[in-house]
Amino acid sequence: MIPRSLFSEEHELFRSAVQKFAEKEVHPNLARWEEQEDTGTDIWKKCGEYGFLCPTISEEYGGAGADKLYSMILLEELGPLGGLGLSMAMHSDIVARYIQTYGSSYLKSKYLPEMASGERIGALAMSEPGAGSDVKKVRTRAVKQGDNYVLNGSKIFITNGFHSGVVVVVAQTNKDLGAKGISLFLVDSDMDGFEKGKKLKKVGLRAQDTAELFFNDVIVPAENLLGVENQGFIHCMQDLPWERLQIGLMAISCAEYALNLTKNYVSERALFGKHVSDFQNTRFKMAELTSEVQIGRVFIDRCMELELKGELDGETASMAKYWCSDLQCKVADECVQLHGGYGFMQEYEIARAWTDARAQKIYGGTNEIMKDIIANSIFGRRK
């Protein structure tokens, strides 16, 4: 395998700590979390105690002030484990970053330390029943009244929604401007009129908390506006390359995880008097998949280098998100096939890797939208 020069000795020590944490605190609980369709909140507090939450947030607000490679390591090591890595990325590298980038000193002081400790879990409320990837169709409205905004609407498919303690809400503040009339608000779970729906039952990522959220005449102080009114769409777009790269890098890590599970299985499983790994089809298939995943890993590492330098553009991030998540699904499916009938049994980890993979092609902008973004960079926008 090609050596990865991105990481220093300190990064690798951090990786080792995350791996030990996963072995002690995550693996033993995965089956139970999937059964109850929830990790609960205790694991969040443990992550906070270990310093795994909000690593890039400044030390002034409880973070570590570290570079994004620490976030990358957390996704690589925890991403394949039932969606915990996904939930933490939403909390630490999306919600907390929005607050640090666009929030007032008051908001940062109030919420970021509690997010870093795991006492408050962060969520981003963007998708709606009638508006998924199309922000122009957002119907949740925030109407200015004196020193407050009155928020009304509903959101769906919200990662960390059920246990959320603080939510960044995408809302319409000027219906005549479409996407240019969107603003971001920080909503506290204690605010009157904010309600959480039931946990949504998903095909995969069953241990990961996803819910509906409802806002009924929620009084949001004007100081809880993040950034500039009617500039919310622009604020969201500025961090999208990093958000989509996170999906891509988790996809490659999950594919590597599936390959490792399969390597171990076919090396031990006997059939017709020899190990499954002795059959030419198995050997060729594993060689093909390992080569493709290595190609993806090199591309992801290059994208990460660009992101660290502030040079990752939307088109390249879209390539990473779409191609790597497509590859993850392909690898997981092929690995299930190599497991045979056992690959379809829930007690085998490869089955979870397979069902968990499918959502990667949907959230963060569907892969069809990623292709449209890439095509726009080639041909220009369609008339």
The catalytic site residues sit at: 243
Q: Are 26 and 42 in contact (CB under 8 A)?
A: no
The whole-angstrom separation of Cα 96 and Cα 122 is: 7
Q: Which helix (H) or strand (E) holds 157?
A: strand 148-159
Q: Are 229 and 172 in contact (CB under 8 A)?
A: no
Check the CA dihedral 223-108-194-236 and report its sign: positive
The whole-angstrom separation of Cα 337 and Cα 320 is: 26
Amino acid at 175: K
Q: Are 191 and 220 in contact (CB under 8 A)?
A: yes
Residues in contact with 184: Cβ distance below 8 Å, sequence separation at least 6, in sequence order: 98, 102, 168, 169, 170, 171, 225, 226, 227, 232, 235, 236
Residues in contact with 220: Cβ distance below 8 Å, sequence separation at least 6, in sequence order: 142, 148, 149, 150, 151, 185, 186, 187, 191
* DSSP state letters, 68-127: HHHHHHHHHHHTTTTTHHHHHHIIIIIIHHHHHHHS-HHHHHHHHHHHHHTSSEEEEE--
**Maximum pairwise Cα distance, the chain:** 79
Check the CA dihedral 48-50-54-59 and report its sign: positive
> What are 58's two structure tokens?
């400044």
Backbone angles phi, psi at 63, to 5 degrees: -85, -170
> What are 7's two structure tokens?
């990481």
Report helix, strand or coil for 210.
strand
Any idea which residue has 């909140």 for tokens?
41
* β 164-172/121-125 pair status: parallel
